[in-house]
Amino acid sequence: MRRIFTILISLLALSVFGLSAQDSLNLARMDSTYVGRTILSVIGPGAEINQTPEVRKALQGYVDSNASKAVQGYRIRVFYDNSPQARVRSESIAAYLRAQYPETGVYRSFESPNYKVTIGDFRTRDEALRIYNALKGTYPTAYIIKENINFPR
């Protein structure tokens, strides 16, 4: 009888501790959904943030002082060519992308003998995928590259 009682108590203790471990595992999973998100995206639209002028000035000073620093991120290479018409095509593609995505940086460069057009200053690959999925129908040879991007503003 004592043995059965000990086994039952042991099973009860294991089930209680097992449930609390499961609960903490679920909490850890829930918290991981916030990784890579800003506070504004978590609290939703219509949120109002009250800051003193000193805080705004300090934040703007931080952004301005780091604007020239390179940050590792992602861009989408839309065009890469060295044909005789590559210069003209790269100019027209860059102009089209600037008109379609005015908030997103478009970069045209020449690295002998190739003209390149890239779009975006994305911090994560997921951000780049959103625009990439919209562009891949028009530009089937587009691909995501990892390179230094401009400091986010």
**CA distance to 2, 17, 102, 127, 149, per residue, from 134 (Å):** 69, 48, 15, 12, 21
What CATH number should be reported for the domain holding residue 138? Answer: 3.30.70.1070
- For residue range 39-91, what is the model confidence (pLDDT) as tens digits? 666 676 777 778 888 988 998 888 788 777 778 999 999 999 999 999 999 99
Q: Which of 101, 102, 87, 103 is nearest to 138 (CA)?
A: 101
- Residue 140 domain flag: yes
Q: What is the residue range of 129's domain?
A: 71-149
Number of Cβ atoms within 10 Å of the Cβ of 122: 23
Residue 12 domain-assigned (yes or no): no
Whole-prediction pTM: 0.59
Please report whether residue 23 resides in a domain.
Answer: no
Domain annotation covers residue 137: yes
Q: Is residue 11 part of a domain?
A: no
Helices within the chain (DSSP H only)? 2-31, 39-43, 53-66, 86-100, 125-135
**Among residues of the chain, what percentage have pLDDT more than 70?**
71
Residue 104 within a domain: yes
Is 2 part of any domain? no
Q: Per the domain annotation, does 22 fall within a domain? A: no
Q: Provide the number of structural domains found in the chain.
A: 1
**Quick check: 97 pLDDT over 80?**
yes
